[in-house]
Amino acid sequence: MSSSRNFATAIRMFATLGRSQAGEASAMMGTGSALLAQRAAALGGVSAVNKGCTCCGRVACMGTCMPMRHLHAHPNPPADPDQALEYLREGNKRFVNNKPHDAHPTRNLDRVKATAGGQKPFAAILSCADSRVPVEIVFDQGFGDVFVTRVAGNIVTNEITASLEFGTAVLGSKVLMVLGHSACGAVAATMGGGAVPGVISSLYYSISPACKKVKSGDVDAAIAENVKVQMEQLKVSPVLQGLVKEGKLKIVGGVYDLATGKVNEIA
């Protein structure tokens, strides 16, 4: 009983101390007790002693399983690119049917805390910057689930490629989707070719190849073609190309329908 009270006191202490003070307290308490107290404080204070780990339910765990389990997007991390893509499909289907996960396992404060020390997203997305395409919501995912890059017209640049190489080769994303959307202003502006302020017209260079491949004025066709063009640009990367050849990555495309919420895949 005495040791339990001491442990609870230690938890309260670490929850309120600053970093330097906590370091001094750790030296006084001893390594084992200090680590457990710090971990418990991070998990929610004294109440964490009774509630146990939100992942495995064990009181004694105090969150030690988090690095292995909570950094993954799902209780069962996708085994391969096909399964990762299926997770995206299932998530979008839930979104379209207005039936998102009840008590979403990766969209809560526990998940925020669990992923504070690292991430293991199962998918990487290159999306347009349009405010009507919130990627995590569209695929019914949460914190740490998807590695997202966004730029008007979902175009590939050196910086975008570098980011996606990091998301796949380093963080381990198994599927990479280029996601366009209906009524894309960047594609429409490129097709129109009109004057625009600032450096907005710099987007035209990357999008114009797609516009040239479709019938003049067919914005919808150009949007779909632009997704294909950007997919091919990503495949030029030796890093991404290597992951695809090894069967560790699949590069796919899709167009999000602003009116229905559905992502229509592009072969």
- Torsion angle in degrees (nearest 10) through CA of 156, 160, 165, 167: -120
- Closest Cα partner for 139 from 71, 87, 104, 79? 87
Q: What pLDDT is attached to residue 101?
A: 81
130 is in an annotated binding site: yes
Query: Would you state the pLDDT for residue 104?
Result: 79
pLDDT at 114: 85
Give the residue extent of every domain in the chain. 70-266
Contact residues for 34 (Cβ-Cβ < 8 A; gap 6+): 10, 14, 25, 26
- pLDDT digits (tens), the chain, 267 positions: 444 444 444 444 444 444 444 444 444 434 444 443 444 444 344 333 344 444 444 333 434 444 444 454 456 789 999 999 999 999 999 999 999 887 777 888 888 888 888 899 999 999 999 999 999 999 999 999 999 999 999 999 999 999 999 999 999 999 999 999 999 999 999 999 999 999 999 999 999 999 999 999 999 999 999 999 999 999 999 999 999 999 999 999 999 999 999 999 997
Contact 164, 149 (CB under 8 A): yes
* Rounded CA separation 68/22 (Å): 26
DSSP 73: S
Query: What six digits make up the tokens of 70?
Result: 């909570």
Q: Is 70 annotated as a binding residue?
A: no
Strands 175-181 and 123-127, by their bridges, are parallel
Q: Quote the pLDDT of residue 75.
A: 61
Please determine, looking at this structure, whether the domain spanning 70-266 carries the CATH number 3.40.1050.10: yes
Q: Are 85 and 250 a contacting pair, CB within 8 Å?
A: yes
pTM of the model: 0.73
